[in-house]
Amino acid sequence: MLACSKPAPKVQAPAKQAAPAKTAVAKPPVVAAVMEGMVKVPGGLFRFGCDDELDGPCAQAERPSRLVQVHGFKIDKTEVTVEAYKKCVDAEVCTRAVAGDECNWGESGRDNYPINCVTWYQADQYCRWVGGYLPSEVEWERAARGDDGRLYPWGNEAPDADGIFRANWGEGLARQLWIRDKWEFDAPVGRFEVGAGPYGTLDQAGNVAEWTSTIAPDTQDDPNPERIVKGGSFREYARRLRTYAKDSHGPHRFYSHVGFRCAAAE
């Protein structure tokens, strides 16, 4: 009986290897297209988190400020769009985003808007499909902050300094103030070029907040730990747009003010 059982793994092994091989052949064109929409973020030491004297006042979750070493990587220049996400759905890899109030999926003329109303799992699946991954909180902040510890992706000026709007943001629940930047809710990606980050990213402050791969420390023992969300959104106060600011949400939840962008190895 032992002699008969040995050939079985040998027969099954090629079958197990066949599926990945087919996937690898299909992916390169898609990955190449995504890489064209990415910017390079150099490796190095940078100041991560919030310092009460330099940045403050800081929320407890934003402390401590510390130097972090990161490897070089690439990150999407803009948030993932409805059009890009639809390609993953059409490929029968991603599931549809939720449609409805303030959600962009299924709305006419929204192809170049950020895909919102997606869960963390949907965002993670898309990034894997294109050959990348959801950036960690550290990577996301590195891309937005650069080497100089800036408060916002564009520098230290307020989002509306000198009457120039550098991001799509609001003032909490005061919805009449959301339209000061000409957009009541989210805007098409890349509209606020004056708010570009140190490496060329757009909309890392405002528009929609963005999922990261990082688990919120105070929920790490939960069955479904929350994930860190960065960047603030069209309805946030200016402070929530700061590079070190953060929030967290359950991975199964979706929100009209949350989208994502992908990262990839350099």
**Domains (ranges, CATH) in the chain?**
29-265 (3.90.1580.10)
User: Is residue 24 helix, strand or coil?
Assistant: helix
- Burial class of residue 4 (count of CB atoms within 10 Å of its CB; 0-12, 13-18, 19+): exposed
| Contact of 231 with 257, CB cutoff 8 Å | no
Q: pLDDT (tens digit, 9 = 90+) per residue, 113-144?
A: 999 999 999 999 999 999 999 999 999 999 99
Whole-number Å distance between alpha carbons of 191 and 170 = 16
> For residue 24, what pLDDT is reported?
33
Spans of the chain, pLDDT less than 50: 1-33, 173-178, 181
> For residue 160, what pLDDT is reported?
87
Amino acid at 113: Y
Q: pLDDT (tens digit, 9 = 90+) per residue, 142-161?
A: 999 999 999 999 999 999 88
Q: Which uninterrupted H or E stretch holds 247?
A: strand 247-249
> For residue 56, what pLDDT is reported?
83
- pTM of this prediction? 0.84
Two structure tokens written together for 220:
């790490």
